[in-house]
Structure 1
Amino acid sequence: MEVAVWDTYVTKKDGKTMHFDIIVPSNNKDTNIIFNYGKEYLRTKGLENLEISSKECVFCHIEILKPECEDAIHKKGYFIYEMENCN
């Protein structure tokens, strides 16, 4: 399965930039759904008031689904790959 990777940068209230990827099936091109996945993830971090839009989240590339993402993609429709300042 091919997935689309959406590169996301969100500035937290402490000024640090949170960097993560939202990974979705490549046929999902609805940015409202993709941004909502990002907002859902931010809520799990207690950051429900942060904005995600085309300014913070952009399509990056298509890749083959990695095994560590597969379960989340099938259950929730997306996977979050945390990179910087996500904890």
Structure 2
Amino acid sequence: MKTAVWDTYVKKQNGETMHFDLIVPEEMTDQQTIFGYAKDYLKSKNQPYENFGAEQSRFCHIESAKPSVQDEIKKKGYYIVEMEGCD
């Protein structure tokens, strides 16, 4: 499965930066849906998400997904790779 990687940076409530990659199927291009996935993730981390948009997340590249990533995408539509400040 080919996937689109969205490089995402969000300012946390404590002022630190949260960096994660949002991975969706390559054919998904609707930004509202993609940003909705990011908001769901931020909500699960108790971080502000109301004003999330294109300023925080940008398309980065296309890559082949590992089977475990594919399984997660099939279940919920997306996969998150936590890079920094996501704890």
Shorter-chain TM-score: which interval? over 0.9
1:60 aligned residue: 60
Give identity over the alignment, percent: 51
Displacement of 1:68 in angstroms is 2.8
Residue 40 of structure 1 aligns to which amino acid in structure 2? D
Equivalent pairs, count = 86
The answer for unaligned runs of 5 or more in structure 2 is none
SS in 2 for 1:8: strand
Displacement of 1:72 in angstroms is 1.0
Residue 10 of structure 1 aligns to which amino acid in structure 2? V
Moved over 6 A (4+): none
1:26 pairs with 2:26: yes
Instruction: Give the aligned CA root-mean-square deviation in angstroms.
Output: 0.9
* In 1: Cα distance, 2:16 partner to 2:68 partner: 27
Displacement of 1:66 in angstroms is 1.6
SS in 1 for 2:6: strand
1:43 aligned residue: 43
1:7 aligned residue: 7
Q: What is the TM-score with the length of structure 1 in the denominator?
A: 0.94
SS in 2 for 1:59: strand
The answer for unaligned runs of 5 or more in structure 1 is none
Residue 12 of structure 1 aligns to which amino acid in structure 2? K
